[in-house]
Amino acid sequence: MDLSIVIPLVNEHESLAPLVEWLHRVMGNMKAPDTVTGLAYEVILVDDGSTDGSWKEIQRLSKEDGRVKGIRFGRNYGKSPALNEGFRAAEGKVVITMDADLQDDPDEIPELYRMITMEGFDLVSGWKKKRYDPITKTLPTKLFNWTTRRISGVHLHDFNCGLKAYKQDVVKNIEVFGEMHRYIPFIAKKEGFRKIGEKVVKHHPRKFGATKFGFDRFINGFLDLLTITYIFRFGKKPMHFFGGLGSFMFVVGFFSATWVIGEKLWFSFILHQPAPRVAESGLFFVALTAMVIGVQLFTAGFVADLVSRNGTERNRYRISDRTGF
């Protein structure tokens, strides 16, 4: 199989038929690399709990053309689980994802496919340089992309663009969960796939229905970014995070307590004056709080380390090559 198109969707009944027809038209004109034969491809439609008859439309399209395949969730789980299931089912050497609302342009697929197969990119992300979205969506998106670039170190203009192309190795070696689909380039980079490119793509106005995303996705997106940063940095060694932070807090509390005790001794034995009461010192409560929090964080790190060491994923690593076996 040369190419897999993975399309997650929720309540996109009206757009499915024209989208699939457009995809067949584009793919029908493509050729497999270094051959004159047509491209072997599949279109995987992942129905994320639609309630508008989208699944019946997928079944109809699949019966008409066996290259159209469908996966249906029992309820709405989110875009990330839909993509993850699509990636597991994909058989193509190149995997391309896109949205089902006709805002992504299938005519971009040949160039994305070429960049993966001919230029050797591991991942190519679309960049909707000119967007047909309201300002309430575009302005938060710019802030989101700027923050993600700064934290992840992946210099893309549009992390959230649904139109992306991947080598098969990428999608088979990453796990997308929660709402982590926004950070697939970051996840891929952390897994060692470092040749990540970007292509300006066309963006069309929405023809049917309404957007499925609200403002809360930007808040959730930021929290997910912190989560994924922690997982990749400390997922296999949580004690380094909790233990380090706990040790710092404990040291701050210890020196604060030492200062309070030293102050009392100074007044009592050096100045021979009535010493201030310990309980009246604000620093005493800082010391007490910091030491308690420090012990709790250290204990949390110890427990997290025990859980991590007993997890089934503790020795899971991506092997890129072998020799001499």
Domain boundaries, the chain: 3-234, 238-309
Tell me what pLDDT residue 96 has: 97
CA distance 224 to 30: 37
Tell me what pLDDT residue 19 has: 95
Tell me what pLDDT residue 222 has: 72
Tell me what pLDDT residue 153 has: 82
**Confidence category of residue 290, pLDDT binned at 50, 70, 90:** very high
CATH topology of domain 3-234: Spore Coat Polysaccharide Biosynthesis Protein SpsA; Chain A (3.90.550)
Q: Extract long-range pairs of 170-178: CB within 8 Å, 24+ residues apart.
A: 170/95, 170/122, 170/123, 171/87, 171/90, 171/95, 172/87, 173/318, 174/87, 175/84, 176/80, 176/81, 176/83, 176/84, 176/87, 177/80, 177/81, 177/84, 178/78, 178/80, 178/224, 178/227
Tell me what pLDDT residue 295 has: 92
Tell me what pLDDT residue 234 has: 77
Question: Between the CA atoms of 210, 213, 215 and 220, what dihedral angle is there, to the nearest 10 degrees?
Answer: 180
Averaged pLDDT of the chain: 85
The residue with greater pLDDT, 144 or 34, is 144
Return all residues near 93 (Cβ < 8 A) that are at least 6 apart.
1, 2, 3, 117, 167, 168
CA distance 76 to 62: 22
Tell me what pLDDT residue 214 has: 54
Question: Phi/psi at 276 (nearest 5 deg)?
Answer: -65, 145
**Confidence category of residue 135, pLDDT binned at 50, 70, 90:** low
Tell me what pLDDT residue 284 has: 84
Tell me what pLDDT residue 31 has: 81
From 20-29, 280-289, 309-318, the region with the lowest mean pLDDT? 309-318
Check pLDDT > 70 for residue 322: no
Tell me what pLDDT residue 195 has: 93
**What average pLDDT does this structure show over 12-19?**
93
Residue 38 has which token pair? 């047509």
pLDDT in tens, 209-249: 666 555 566 677 677 777 777 777 777 788 888 888 999 99
**What average pLDDT does this structure show over 13-19?**
94
pLDDT in tens, 97-115: 999 999 999 999 999 999 9
Tell me what pLDDT residue 42 has: 95
The residue with greater pLDDT, 7 or 278, is 7
Check pLDDT > 80 for residue 55: yes
Helices (H), the chain: 13-28, 54-64, 79-89, 109-117, 135-152, 168-172, 184-190, 216-234, 238-265, 282-309
Q: Using an 8 Å Cβ cutoff, are 97 and 188 in contact?
A: no
From 99-108, 152-161, 163-172, the region with the lowest mean pLDDT? 152-161
Check pLDDT > 70 for residue 86: yes
Tell me what pLDDT residue 231 has: 73
Tell me what pLDDT residue 41 has: 94
Check pLDDT > 70 for residue 186: yes
Query: 94-97 and 164-167 as β-strands: parallel, antiparallel, unpaired?
Result: antiparallel
